[in-house]
Structure 1
Amino acid sequence: MKRKNERSFLTITTLIAIVLLPFAIYKRPFKDWLIVFLVGCTGNTLADRYLVSKGYLHYKVRPFSKKFAIHLPFDCFHYPLFLLYFNQWTLNSKPLGMISKLLVFIIPQVIIETIAEKKTDIITWKKGWNWYHSFAGLAIKFLLCRFMIAAIRMLNKRENSIT
């Protein structure tokens, strides 16, 4: 019964993410948000694949478990959705504001992941992995993507300016 509840939880949260995704992407500038989404999917999938292959993380309860060792809903829907909302919210933020908004996104994710690791089979930490590794990893990935989209915007401004 426990595993059925975990699968139901994953299914419901994934469906919510899929429903919210078009609303997050379909905003101006569409191209920027599509880039953020694709970078989020790709980067998180690669990082997750590496961590799973090295034995730091294990997902006992996951969709398509015979095909993928990673947690596909988190890598392709949940994380990119959080990343989209973070990038949209920090669009015009200064560095200090960006850091405080980053904490608003990361702290709840790390708390939920920690509870999931302790109380469920959704995720298992191994080889000394702990909540602070997840916190640092999320912070680095969020900020890298944010700086990347800022660089793309600066390049676009330069190309579009008339000199």
Structure 2
Amino acid sequence: MNDRSILRFITVISLSGLALLFKKGSVKDWFLVFLFKSLLSTFLDIPVTEKRLVKYPVRYFPKYFKTNIVFDYILFPLTCVIYSQITYKWKPIQAILGVFLLSVPMTVAEEILNKKTNLIQYGKKWNWTNSFSYLTATFLASRFFITGIRFISERRER
């Protein structure tokens, strides 16, 4: 399977997963998580690619984007929604530990794509531990964000 085919496959899977936004719980909360993570990706991934720490040689719209828009604006935000849905009623320590259920497999998948394809290439100052830290931190940030929104919303309703 060539790199473009892999990218198309990931795109189809990602777009198909958008239905998960309407799964259990508050659709409003899941859209907020999705949009927050998309915004976070914009602020974090653009500088990473500008500094050439990570490159995406095979991507959609290379004239306009240096990042992988499928990952930044569909797949990763959607995965953050799934994480928030899974950990919705978990205690804080469980949610913190639960982040590894998604950040570990995503890091492994990214490392495989880095080694076997041109979908992602690490620069000299980037490796799988940076990706793992980035993924874990942004999952937690999205979870803390929606927890904060819920807290504020509940206080306003009292």
TM-score range, shorter chain: over 0.9
Match of 1:148 in 2: 145
Equivalent positions of 1:81-160 (< 5 A) are 81-160=78-157
1:74 to 71, 76, 79: 71
Contact 1:45–1:70 (Cα < 8 Å) also in 2: no
**Corresponding letter in the other structure for 2:28:** K
Partner-residue secondary structure (3-state), 2:63: coil
* TM-score, structure 1 normalization: 0.91
Unmatched segments (≥5 aa) in structure 1: none
Which range moved further: 94-103 or 6-15? 94-103
Deviation per residue, 1:45-98 (Å, 9 max, x gap): 221111000110111011111111110000011101100000011111113321
1:61 to 58, 63, 67: 58
1:16 counterpart = 2:52: no
* TM-score, structure 2 normalization: 0.94
Match of 2:44 in 1: 47
* Cα shift at 1:26: 5.2
Deviation per residue, 1:110-146 (Å, 9 max, x gap): 0011111111111111132010101111111111111
Contact 1:25–1:34 (Cα < 8 Å) also in 2: no
Structure 1 segments of 4+ aligned residues over 6 angstroms from their partners: none
**Corresponding letter in the other structure for 2:116:** K
**Corresponding letter in the other structure for 1:41:** S
Q: Greater CA radius of gyration, 1 or 2? A: 1
* Cα shift at 1:109: 0.5
**Corresponding letter in the other structure for 1:91:** Y
* Cα shift at 1:25: 3.7
CA distance in 1, matches of 2:114, 2:13: 22
Identity of aligned residues (%): 34
1:142 and 1:57, CA in 2 relative to 1: closer, same or farther beyond 3 A?
A: same
The CA RMSD over aligned residues, in Å, is: 1.3
CA distance in 2, matches of 1:20, 1:119: 25
Partner-residue secondary structure (3-state), 2:88: coil
Contact 1:63–1:72 (Cα < 8 Å) also in 2: yes
